[in-house]
Structure 1
Amino acid sequence: MLSNHIYRLESSSGIQVIVLGVLVAILLIVFYGLSIFCWARRRKEQPKKEEKRNSENNLLQPKLTHVAFTNVKESTRFSSCLIVILMIIVATVSLVVKWSLLQPIHNELVDKYIQKEPLFYVRNSFCNAIDLQDGYNLITISVSCFCIIIFIVFSKRTSCLRGKLNGFIGPVIPLDFYVHVKRKFAAVVFAVIADDLLDIVVQVIDGSTSQGEGVIVVYLLRVVKILIIGLHHYPTLSAVYIDSILALACGTLYTWLDFIISIINQGLCETDYYPSDDNVGDTNGSDLELLFDYYGTGQNLIIIELLTDIPRYLCWAYIVIKLPILLINKINATIKKRNRKEINRIHLTREEKILLHSSAAHSVEMCYVRNLFRGNNEHRKSRLFIGRLIPKFIYEWRDDFRFSSRIVCVYASVFLLLYFMTIQALIRIIPVLNVFQELLEVVFDAITTIRDSLNIQKDFPMPNLLRPFVFAILTAFVVTVIQLLILLASIRRNLFQIYRGDDSEIPLRNKSKYLSYAGGNFHFAGYFIGYLIWGYVLIAVFALIIYICIASFITFGSVRFLEKILKSIIPVVLLIIFKQYLNNLLARYVFLQHYGDILAINNRRILMIFLYFNFFLDSFLGFVSSIVRIIKSVIGGFLYMTRLDYSPLGRKLETLDSGFSAYCGFIHIEAVHRNPIMLVAASYLYGRMKAKQYVINNPIVTIENEKNYSSKAIRKWHLAVLLLRNPRLVFSRKNALREKENKNTEALNAKLRRLSLIEQITHRPSLISENDLENMWQK
């Protein structure tokens, strides 16, 4: 009798849930059907003026075929084709060399595995000669420091003690993050650095410390290692930025030496999967034994390691090919300059050339300024072929914006780091999934308090974890990449907002927070990488739990533990959805005028009655919504961990989030130093100054007299057009004028008080001072 009663209860609950689900489906169909009908009717009633205007603008712009042929012609130049061919050749040769170095080590360890001997190989004496502690390369670091000293000796100072030592012995920088100097080359170098970042991540997650060393000593050693990583790539970047024959020659020699030593080091000394006598104590060869058990003793491990190294060696090949080409081009340019007979030629530094380029006709900054005088519908399409192919609703490619070198370099490192993390997670964790599965079964049995001795069916039978784990890692990779791309678009949007004084997403610049902005700008790259790693791990764990549940349903058909959860969740979720769409339907078609296009109340009396009864109903739904709010916050925190532009604390508390504060500091510093209007104005003024210097130094050169138009009227007209097409600039201009007026008023009042005090001391009753007349006039 009891079982029949329970069956009746469960069947009645199931019928009620099915009925509620059918009602929700009908409500969704009605709501979206009416929405599509209203959208279609509104589309028919729209005038065709905008389509005509867009067609006229398209006639003035080049066609897609012309853009495609132009891009293909520019991208298939001889130098580009030569670099690609040489890259493939150098990368292939490097991988073959590494395979030849790994093959004897692999065969030796396979023999030891078969004979049940300890799995490690004895490193070559060359490894002990070049390596210091923790893998520091003595040869590379020594040559790197020597190159940096050469760069310092032959670099000129720009501001400090320029008269001493003829201005030489100045500091050198690897690259300027706020200008566009060889961004592609710098991004490739930072992509190579991703390999070192992966080692840092593994050490931080591992958390292993040497015996006898304290926490502070270990931390200082890691700081020293990070500094050595920076010194490792410093000469390569500095040589390209200095752009002299000496610097490029030193950088070329150093890069080739570093590349050769890196191949030997990775093939003999620091392999990915084969333990040596230097690090065998960490795992005692157990990791390699698991890999041999799963992947076999053939060539699979070597093939996996070589396939993983393909992006890394392609980047290395680009660096070692690009530097000699830059050196040859620099030598040719220097020879051509010496053959020319130029009188009184003005010498420009690289920084001056970059600044003067901002006012060029087709520069990015000038395109931005030119677009300010155009309407939103008058912006021309991108001149790049890829910009024409991407739909605007996904991403609008704009020719008036270019990401800074810092963003490009950070994203290059991050994408290659994601690639390495994904490959290593799949290769290293899959062989130990069986052990992990047994551990999870024990945990779930303990949670559900099920004992095997009772012969009771488990509430949550554990399926095979191979497919859920692979799908979870791939899901984490895809979601993280999508979030990175959305963040990239958000950076551009936020910079445009800061340029025009819009604080809808990023708080406006506050003078009291300048130090906070500077500190956040310092932390941006590090926080970005740290948040990215944790976001990747959390998404993988969350996706793994979901895929395990799905796999359990597919494998066993019935999982009592999940069925109990779903029985308690599904009715509440359906009720919330039903109430939400019922409110949307009533709000659009009953309580708002013109089907929600106007925020004005319709049917006021019925609305008051509905609000009265809705007060009691929402009291219950509010409790359920609070629980859903917590769940959404946790899931949103996992998914949006990578997004520094998003703060899970909310708008009022977002400044307490360290990641968001770092992002705000980066945006404000970037906007101040890369504002297109400021760069165009400074470039124009500096160019006029240099032109006058050239005329003074060359009296023979004459400049034709320009026509004198009413410059004041032209400026007024341009200002009016600019403010009409950019309404948000009106508020910024009013604030600036108000501050200027307040400063002038304060200065005038201070002057009047000062004059009044002087006249009180030297006042003669028979005379009227100028200040008295001015005061009388004001009254």
Structure 2
Amino acid sequence: MPLTSSLKKPSPAFLTSVDIFVDTFQENLVYQREICPAELEADTILTYLAIPSIVIILISSFCQRRKILRLDLCGGRMGLVYPINIFTRDSRLEYCCSFGLAACSAYERVILFTFLKENLWTLTIVLEWSVSFLIYATLFFNIASAFSIKTALSYFFSSLFVWIIMVVRFNELASCQENDNFVVMVIKFTPTILCLSYLAVKTPYLLLKAIQSKEYVERKQVQEFQTVEQIRESFQGKHVRKLLKHPVQQIVDTTVATKENFIDKLHKIYREEKGFKYPTMLVTILFVAAMIIYMMTIDFMVLIIPHLNNILSKSLEALERIGYVAVDGELPSVTNTRESLHLVFNMTQCVLYSLMAALPLSCFTLIVSSLHSLISFRTNLLAVYRGNFVNIPESGRQTGLSLCIGSLKFSGYQVAYIVMGHVWTCFFLFLLFLFITVFIIIVIGINSRWYLWVYTLCAMMSMTFILHILQTLLVKTFYLLGNTRYLRLDNRRFFFITIYYLFLFNILSGFVSCMIRIIKSCVVSFVAVSKMDICMLPRMIDLYDPGFAIYHGFIHLEASHNNPVLQVFIGLLIAMSKNKKVNTPIEDIGSPYLTPFQQNKSKTFSNMSNVGTTREFSAARFTWLVAYTLIHNPTIRIYRRGFIQLLNAAIRDGLKVPLSDRPIYFILTQIQCAQKNKKKSMITKQKLMGLRKNTNRKKSHARKSTFHSNSEHETATDLTNLTSTEASSSK
């Protein structure tokens, strides 16, 4: 008998229970949160606050000076004011609070006005969302820009707006105390209240500091340059010194290496690196995403859990009326209704318990993923600093336009990816737990031969597992020579026979392996959907992944503008120029970045500088230092003027010269150039000889022609004379 014919159809009670569950859930799935009038008043006040915010933005911009364009107009006034510098590492907590307030306020407005509308997802709703985003971005612009302007006037406006918003929020909570969901509102707005409280204390403190330093309208342009020792001990200096060290390969015992690798795996969740600071924008993104997820979770629990409890209570009431246990002689309809109510109660419990298990586990997964994203960002950024493009493709694979667009989109896209990743992870875990609970509680209760499918699947998986163990033992015992760490094949004929006999078995086990692969890819996709640093596509088409392409642009923008090698180089130039003005000895300038041998050399250079100050001696010393630099830095020799001139000459001559400055290439190039020039000179000589021969021929031909013309002219004159004499004689 086939397996499908042995399976029984679900009972009518089960189908009826499913219909009851769906209908009851649809009836109760309404956003029943009572809208307090104070919420609408608070939203109106915050909306109208955008008007003075625009005026304050204009005032702040008038207090700033332009740096390039039309400096003669209005004394250079009306400069641009920006809320955040994405390359900065300062004021991270302040930016987190200000951006978090803007995002949470916009989210609350979107949720409030969306559920007040009867017709959702229309063009009007989308336009209202866009206007709301512009209003709240303008409202919180002055709060964020104060931490980039850093003047007393900007801190005053920022503290003023913070206190106004805090008063509005507290008034909203105080006016909604009689609301049934007051406790939920307090729990939901706890992050917002904490951010407002921190900014309400921090901005007046910064205002007093700015007044104390007399930075009222404009910030004093005081450039604080680091000394050489400070540059050396900074994170950038340590990074550059680490790059300059020759890597030493140490032979470590395999057991010790295994322990260290296990510890490294534990540190993959998060490992702090001393001195490294994450960009303020990245920390702000994670903070804003956490606040939005917190508010979404509270709204979801308020929306779903009361309805599930309502279904449970109604099911229990119905069971109490008709009885929990069947009675002899009752009608079949009553029996079917009782079974349906039991199944509805069990299904509702399954949904409720699955949700309660999926939400905290999803939050834990989100925390681990965020910490790993920070480590991944730091690892990728340091690798790009070193020129290692194993994980992140090089910048040449995208144009500057694409990289800049990616950096523009990164902040908003990363928040959206984290939020959607949390939603999908929660949904996946919910389905997983629901499947387990429904399978245990409900499917087993159906009178059917479902276990035959389970037995078949378990048998296939057992066969796959046994085949895997058998092949592993055969390879370890017979087919690898010596240590299994190295690939050295032995007993090749038995190996070929084993491949033949296991061919059909591996086809069957390959289906199970393919299903496992699909399940793994789904799990990894759901878990890693929030991580933009992980590409979901193969390496050849990795930039077709929009999230990874945007992350690629942000990484390269950060690496190109905050490169530690560039910062250390510029810092050393500034420090050396300052020390040169105060006549600091040379060994105090360059020695911290040199080896002991090079420090002795630098001391000899400083002693040499005291010997003579003539122009010839300075030129000779400079030439020697250039030669010393080129010897120890072979990669920059190809950028020397002599090599470039030789390369251009070879290109003009049609020669292909490799990009190397080795003497053999120079000699070969010179020989080839000489041969080429010799051939050219021979050709030109031949051409000149040919031209000379042609000119000589033309000259001789011209002489002959003139001779013939003269002779003809003479004969003609002779004939005329002869005829004239004959005529005279005849007369």
TM range (shorter): 0.5 to 0.7
CA deviation after TM superposition for structure 1 residue 741, in Å = 10
1:610 matches 2:498: yes
1:571 matches 2:459: yes
1:417 is aligned to: 292
Q: Pick the aligned partner of 2:81 from 153, 172, 185.
A: 172
Offset from partner CA, 1:188-211 (integer Å, 9 cap, x none): 32233341353377489x688677
SS of aligned partner of 1:155:
coil
1:332 is aligned to: 212
Amino acid at match of 1:462: M
Q: Pick the aligned partner of 2:169 from 245, 250, 262.
A: 262
1:372 is aligned to: 243
- Please show how residues 208-607 of structure 1 align to structure 2 within 5 Å: 215-268=122-175, 274=179, 301-334=181-214, 349=221, 353=224, 360-374=231-245, 392=267, 394-434=269-309, 462=347, 464=349, 465-510=351-396, 512-552=398-438, 555=441, 558-560=444-446, 563=451, 566-588=454-476, 590-607=478-495
SS of aligned partner of 1:532:
helix
Cα distance in 2 for residues equivalent to 1:362 and 1:777: 61
CA deviation after TM superposition for structure 1 residue 524, in Å = 1.8
Cα distance in 2 for residues equivalent to 1:499 and 1:549: 47
CA deviation after TM superposition for structure 1 residue 372, in Å = 1.9
Aligned-residue identity in percent: 22
Cα distance in 2 for residues equivalent to 1:454 and 1:432: 26
CA deviation after TM superposition for structure 1 residue 178, in Å = 0.8
Cα distance in 2 for residues equivalent to 1:169 and 1:741: 49
SS of aligned partner of 1:600:
coil
Length-normalised TM-score, structure 2: 0.66
Length-normalised TM-score, structure 1: 0.62
1:163 is aligned to: 72
CA deviation after TM superposition for structure 1 residue 556, in Å = 6.3
Cα distance in 2 for residues equivalent to 1:203 and 1:566: 48
Cα distance in 2 for residues equivalent to 1:528 and 1:273: 39
Cα distance in 1 for residues equivalent to 2:130 and 2:499: 62
2:105 is aligned to: 196
**Cα distance, 1:660–1:439 mapped onto 2, change above 3 Å:** farther
CA deviation after TM superposition for structure 1 residue 684, in Å = 2.7
CA deviation after TM superposition for structure 1 residue 702, in Å = 4.5
Amino acid at match of 1:169: M
2:142 and 2:158 in contact (8 A); partners too:
yes
1:123 matches 2:25: no
CA deviation after TM superposition for structure 1 residue 712, in Å = 5.3
Cα distance in 2 for residues equivalent to 1:410 and 1:241: 18
Cα distance in 2 for residues equivalent to 1:511 and 1:354: 37
Cα distance in 1 for residues equivalent to 2:313 and 2:640: 70
SS of aligned partner of 1:361:
helix
Amino acid at match of 1:775: N
SS of aligned partner of 2:353:
helix
Offset from partner CA, 1:522-564 (integer Å, 9 cap, x none): 2222222222222222222222222223334665693558756
2:653 and 2:676 in contact (8 A); partners too:
no
**Cα distance, 1:503–1:218 mapped onto 2, change above 3 Å:** same
CA deviation after TM superposition for structure 1 residue 257, in Å = 2.3
1:358 and 1:366 in contact (8 A); partners too:
no
Larger gyration radius, structure 1 or structure 2: 2
SS of aligned partner of 2:97:
helix
CA deviation after TM superposition for structure 1 residue 176, in Å = 0.6
1:747 is aligned to: 648
**Cα distance, 1:417–1:576 mapped onto 2, change above 3 Å:** farther
Q: Say what the alpha-carbon RMSD is for the aligned residues.
A: 4.7
Amino acid at match of 1:370: R
**Cα distance, 1:348–1:547 mapped onto 2, change above 3 Å:** same
Q: Which runs of 5+ in 2 are unaligned?
A: 8-31, 251-262, 316-331, 588-602, 607-623, 655-672, 682-731
Cα distance in 1 for residues equivalent to 2:124 and 2:644: 55
1:517 and 1:666 in contact (8 A); partners too:
yes
2:519 is aligned to: 631
2:269 and 2:368 in contact (8 A); partners too:
no
Q: Pick the aligned partner of 2:570 from 653, 674, 682.
A: 682
1:178 and 1:673 in contact (8 A); partners too:
yes
- Please show how residues 622-701 of structure 1 align to structure 2 within 5 Å: 622-688=510-576, 695=581, 701=582
Cα distance in 2 for residues equivalent to 1:428 and 1:572: 43
**Cα distance, 1:174–1:585 mapped onto 2, change above 3 Å:** farther
Cα distance in 2 for residues equivalent to 1:452 and 1:749: 99
Cα distance in 1 for residues equivalent to 2:536 and 2:445: 34
**Cα distance, 1:356–1:216 mapped onto 2, change above 3 Å:** farther
1:463 and 1:552 in contact (8 A); partners too:
no
Cα distance in 1 for residues equivalent to 2:475 and 2:2: 47
CA deviation after TM superposition for structure 1 residue 404, in Å = 0.8
